[in-house]
Amino acid sequence: MSDKEAYRALCQTETSIPLFSRDWWLDIVCGKDNWEVMLCWENERIEAAMPLYVPWHGKVTMPFYTQTMGPWLAPEAEDMKYATCLARRQALLQSFVERLSSYTYFYQHFSPQITDWLPFYWAGFIQTTRYTYLLHSISETERLWQEMSQSIRRHIRKAEKLGIEVRTDVSAEELLRIQALSFGRQGLKAKGGAILKQLVEEVRRRGAGDIWGAYDAAGRLHAAALVVWQSASAYYLAGGGDPACRSSGAHSLVLWKAIQTAACHTDCFDFEGSMLPGVERFFREFGAKQVPYFAIKKGNLSLYNRACLKLGRIFR
């Protein structure tokens, strides 16, 4: 059995593997033949795994619609001493670092659960701290409401008074249209549309996510949000609002409804960033807590490779 086959088997039984590192997710966002995985074995048991998106030979980077990848470490015994835990984690990470020497470029976002990147630092990798925003205990609706900013509560009430209705019968095409409008207002271009469509189809098939849309009485879509989940957390993967309808408060309402539904599946909601000032403020005002995570890098891409990433194209 190859490492990839062993990892696929592990994903069928190990619930602690993050959603963004599960084999079916990687098949969609990377392409079945464009991701690899490094494993650490002990007594015929996988103690750690590190999936890699390799769009070009020897070059590891992040795929679209994937907030984090990085190492997964098998859960430790509850009675294990902290010093022993730290030594174990560093030994596993060191094993990955040694094998990464065969790659000329490496860039990944690690899960917030990875709090120690020292083995990478010792090997010459560099780190940038990024931030996401998390809501915990999301079934406590009244508490969440009270911890929101007055601005967000006002937007939600306004949308409700305007008769905005939130539904989940939104097509992937409508989500992409709203996303393009939202990005366009910021002078940006949405990328990875084909990948997003596949993700929507698969998470709906698995019961692991859905699209929420906010419609007015005339049937106009004001805002939409794609939220995916596993037992550990829900994630706001993609969405946006129609710039012509910004004053309706629909974007706040659609996220609020999505959070309430996600509470049936998990206890945590991850807004997935952002590092953009306006977006960061919007997420923060929901009462979410700022949580750091690491972006780890070594080496450089050629101008050609950088251009391909910027254009959202991978030539193979």
Give Cβ neighbours of residue 311 (< 8 Å, ≥ 6 apart). none
Domains, the chain, in order of start with CATH, read 3-130+293-311 (3.40.630), 138-266 (3.40.630.30)
* Structure confidence at residue 312 (pLDDT): 60
Q: Looking at the predicted structure, is the pLDDT value of residue 176 above 90?
A: yes
* Structure confidence at residue 315 (pLDDT): 42
Give the pLDDT mean for 284-301.
Answer: 94
Mean pLDDT of the chain: 94
Q: How far is CA 88 from the centre of its chain?
A: 27
Q: Looking at the predicted structure, is the pLDDT value of residue 278 above 80?
A: no
User: How does residue 307 score in pLDDT terms, banded at 50, 70 and 90?
Assistant: confident
Give the pLDDT mean for 170-190.
Answer: 87
Q: Looking at the predicted structure, is the pLDDT value of residue 316 above 50?
A: no
Given its phi and psi angles, is residue 196 left (phi above 0), alpha (psi -120 to 50 degrees) or beta? alpha
* Structure confidence at residue 148 (pLDDT): 97
**Percentage of the chain lying above the pLDDT 70 cut:** 97
Give the pLDDT mean for 277-304.
Answer: 90
Q: What are phi and psi of 35, to 5 degrees?
A: -130, 150
pTM confidence score:
0.93
Give the pLDDT mean for 87-101.
Answer: 98
Q: Running DSSP on this structure, what letter comes out for residue 77?
A: P
Within 10 A of 305 (CB to CB), how many other CB atoms are there? 17
Please give, one letter per residue, the 3-state secondary structure of 96-160: HHHHHHHCCEEEEEECCCCCCCHHHHHCCCEEEEEEEEEEECCCCHHHHHHHCCHHHHHHHHHHH
Tokens of 69: 């990848």
Sign of CA dihedral 25, 61, 235, 246: negative
Whole-number CA gyration radius for the chain: 20
Give the pLDDT mean for 283-297.
Answer: 96
Give the pLDDT mean for 72-86.
Answer: 94
Q: With CA atoms as reference, report the closest residue to 229 among 15, 53, 32.
A: 15
Q: Looking at the predicted structure, is the pLDDT value of residue 313 above 60?
A: no
Q: Looking at the predicted structure, is the pLDDT value of residue 157 above 80?
A: yes
More confident residue, 307 or 118: 118
Give the pLDDT mean for 191-214.
Answer: 97
* Structure confidence at residue 314 (pLDDT): 52
Q: With CA atoms as reference, report the closest residue to 154 among 30, 285, 40.
A: 285
- The H or E element that residue 59 is part of is strand 59-61
Give the pLDDT mean for 131-141.
Answer: 97
pLDDT digits (tens, 9 = 90+) for 206-264: 999 999 999 999 999 999 999 999 999 999 999 999 999 999 999 999 999 999 999 99
**Percentage of the chain lying above the pLDDT 90 cut:** 86
What is the C-alpha separation between 68 and 275, in angstroms, rounded?
Answer: 14
Q: How far is CA 206 from CA 171, 178, 199, 283, 294, in A?
A: 17, 24, 10, 27, 29
User: How does residue 311 score in pLDDT terms, banded at 50, 70 and 90?
Assistant: low
